[in-house]
Structure 1
């Protein structure tokens, strides 16, 4: 029995079919899988895109129609998979993560599954998005070699779009890091610390999803699968190079955030040291004054200075002179 694992999205599944070849293109939204079966002849490529994983009977129909192994269907419904690829001979299964920000600016992962066949491709997303719209636009307008190539090149285009979306996320991270650097130069607050920690958690989350992708794409670029033809292999290696760039940027940002965290802690420590220095100076200045006040506050009957007419004012003068003298000494020694 198939069970959905992960966050549920209350969206009805939407099926979009694109059939294309070098001289034709057809796109339509369909209500059920029966309307697209059987597929066109081998000269045309059929791209079936499904938004929403809530309708398990639909996935069971897909598995039956395309001969997908039940474990593949389980992996599609388990949205907590790590990026990987599996070659099953007649088809190739690929899973990876897509990231977007919610209304609160928190990075949300979304699983994308791709099943590549000889002349067909099935892509599945957890919810509706516009990431693949430029690819459909290229198909409509006959731009590039997409219409002339096979389903394997379409798989490359989808992977390339997802990896390129990581650069958009990293650009947003870069802007946040610049903002945090400005806050660190000024007077950082506990809010700055929380922002650094939150951004570091998101960077680590992105790294966990992208790191296995490098190995997976490297394997696809060197794959001897019949589903990835020799002319398309260099394009998969190009996506691999982009993934390496993403990982390098992630590592750079992670190190920068670790350094910023150390700078914040050092700044707080230095500020505390400054406060303690001021308090120490105040306490040191008052030590001799406290001694004098303590001497003349003793409860003895005979104190010579008690009978002096100007004794009180003399005591004040002595204490003020001592305090001023000590402050001058501290200033010259650059303790203040």
Structure 2
């Protein structure tokens, strides 16, 4: 939201996109389901008036005009529409008259860039309808769609709140996939770090730390959000679905525990990398110090007998040259054995 804008101003905040915003509608009940793509706002309203449950999935939130039109048609509060188009909005849940508004982040692991992709998702739970708003085309809801089409599970016999739960559950399940993939990479880096640390490892560790921080920022509010739903007394939440919301709350806690574990491991890896580098430097300095220590007395002897004074009696000795060599060898050997006995070598 731009500074100075009035509260409730619907201003898109996020990456500029050129794709056309599309609204897909699935209408179902216990007897069957129907699907339509690229439906108008009036078509969405007509679908909700029918018996059964209507799921409207909005692909893209950069078309402010369409979001405002949809909000007016379904009685959404201006503050809700403002949060829908603000892709930086923190995950949260709010109850309004006639609907419940939920914000969360959809997470996927990008194998190409080896990083975390985060997409803004908003969900509106109303009486016999659910509206999901996605930042971009593409989502993790294919499993939910397939269950509706095939009448798999209980989704076709439950109310709209179970559909909202199913959408959030699909998002949280993909948190597990992203976190586990991050965990695999962290384990690989950790094993390599102990065997053969490389200069670019510290850069990779920092990249993983940024990814974990992004995950943590997206995941931590989910527990609070689902906790509010579990405790809510809204008539839109049926007694039959509450056990599923409580299970989702447990899943959110598991995700947070995994993220915190990986965060602690990465912090330890950073310290381990610096310790290994320090140890290697100490080993190098120890070897250089030992070599210097051995050669210091030898250099002293060579320097003394390299002076050009005439009155140096040892220079006239018949075996002087060999005696000096013998002395230097004895000194070097004695120092070497001494260092070995001290376990410095």
Deviates more, 1:226-235 or 1:37-46: 37-46
Q: Indicate whether 1:203 and 2:218 are aligned.
A: no
Aligned partner of 1:261 in structure 2 is: 270
Q: Indicate whether 1:117 and 2:126 are aligned.
A: yes
Distance 2:255 2:50 in 1: 36
How far apart are residue 40 of structure 1 and its match?
4.0
Deviates more, 1:317-326 or 1:109-118: 317-326
Partner SS for 2:54 = strand
Aligned partner of 1:222 in structure 2 is: 231
Aligned partner of 2:221 in structure 1 is: 212
Aligned partner of 1:98 in structure 2 is: 106
Partner SS for 2:46 = coil
How far apart are residue 14 of structure 1 and its match?
1.8
Distance 2:326 2:15 in 1: 76
Give RMSD over aligned pairs. Answer: 1.5
Partner SS for 2:47 = coil
Q: Indicate whether 1:179 and 2:193 are aligned.
A: no
What is the number of residues matched between the two proteins?
336
Q: Indicate whether 1:301 and 2:322 are aligned.
A: no
- Residue of structure 2 aligned with 1:76, choices 59, 68, 84: 84
User: Kindly tell me: are residues 31 and 20 of structure 1, through their superposed partners in 2, closer, same or farther at Cα, counting changes over 3 Å?
Assistant: closer
Check whether the contact 1:12–1:54 (CA below 8 A) recurs between aligned residues. Answer: no
After TM superposition, list the pairs within 5 Å mapping 1:106-255 onto structure 2.
106-255=115-264
Aligned partner of 1:39 in structure 2 is: 47
Q: Indicate whether 1:311 and 2:320 are aligned.
A: yes
How far apart are residue 116 of structure 1 and its match?
0.8
Distance 2:185 2:298 in 1: 52
Check whether the contact 2:48–2:129 (CA below 8 A) recurs between aligned residues. Answer: no
Check whether the contact 2:108–2:175 (CA below 8 A) recurs between aligned residues. Answer: no
Taking structure 2 as the reference length, the TM-score comes to 0.93
How far apart are residue 30 of structure 1 and its match?
2.4
Distance 2:15 2:318 in 1: 87
Distance 1:43 1:113 in 2: 24
Distance 1:31 1:136 in 2: 17
Distance 1:142 1:307 in 2: 110
How far apart are residue 91 of structure 1 and its match?
0.7
Taking structure 1 as the reference length, the TM-score comes to 0.96
Unaligned runs of 5+ in 1: none
Aligned partner of 1:15 in structure 2 is: 23
Unaligned runs of 5+ in 2: 1-8
Check whether the contact 1:22–1:147 (CA below 8 A) recurs between aligned residues. Answer: yes
How far apart are residue 42 of structure 1 and its match?
6.0
